[in-house]
């Protein structure tokens, strides 16, 4: 198992990488919950002109029939036209790739973006689908039976923690 990086130290690294990629057609969507927290921090630092979009992919997951809802579903809010846009899709931790696949399925219900780039705070490996992040704060090894989770304090400070998988 590798050392857990400080989430707050990873943020400026991601901002520096992303700033060079921002274009007038760039917009951002954060995936609930951790990806939304990360996107809420990144969005103002990048000076994107369109409001931040937020997405809950619960109903688009390929395991929905078996899992049902594990949380209180949020409303997807995409306050801009997706058609022809360069989308920064933000999630906290990349693992199997299934959440990202679900997000892309939902996103295409809103239109056909010019491009989608995945931004994650951490990649823990273990992919089950051919999905990779274009922008990643850190690679983190996580033991089997454990999960890497993003936490947020009341003041908005982000931290990565390892906990037993449910």
Q: Cα(82)–Cα(109) distance, rounded to whole angstroms?
A: 9
pLDDT at 125: 94
pLDDT at 64: 46
- CATH code at 140? 3.40.50.2020
What the block records as the tokens of 17 is: 């990488």
Count CB-CB contacts under 10 A for residue 10: 19
For each of the chain's 166 residues, which pLDDT tens digit applies? 568 999 999 999 999 999 999 999 999 999 999 999 999 999 999 999 999 999 999 878 665 445 555 556 678 999 999 999 999 999 999 999 999 999 999 999 999 999 999 999 999 999 999 999 999 999 999 998 999 999 999 999 999 999 998 7
Whether residue 2 lies inside any domain: the answer is: no
pLDDT at 6: 97
Q: What are the b/e assignments for 41-61, b being 16+ CB within 10 Å?
A: bbbeebebebebbbbbbbebb
Whether residue 57 lies inside any domain: the answer is: yes
Boundaries of domain holding 152: 7-164
Number of independent structural domains in the chain: 1
Whether residue 1 lies inside any domain: the answer is: no
Q: What is the DSSP string of 140-155?
A: ----TTEEEEEEE-TT
């Amino acid at each position: 198992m590798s050392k857990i990086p400080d989430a707050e130290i990873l943020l400026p690294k991601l901002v520096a990488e992303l700033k060079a990629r921002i274009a007038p057609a760039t917009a951002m969507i954060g995936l609930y919950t951790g990806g939304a927290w990360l996107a809420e921090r990144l969005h103002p630092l990048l000076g994107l002109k369109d409001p931040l979009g937020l997405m809950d992919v619960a109903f688009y997951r390929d395991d929905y029939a078996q899992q049902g809802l594990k949380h209180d579903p949020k409303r997807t809010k995409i306050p801009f036209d997706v058609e022809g846009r360069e989308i920064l899709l933000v999630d906290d931790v990349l693992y199997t790739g299934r959440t990202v696949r679900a997000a892309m399925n939902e996103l295409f219900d809103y239109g056909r973006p010019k491009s989608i780039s995945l931004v994650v705070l951490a990649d823990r490996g273990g992919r089950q689908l051919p999905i990779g992040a274009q922008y990643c704060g850190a690679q983190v090894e996580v033991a089997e039976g454990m999960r890497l989770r993003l936490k947020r304090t009341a003041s908005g400070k982000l931290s990565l923690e390892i906990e037993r998988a449910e």
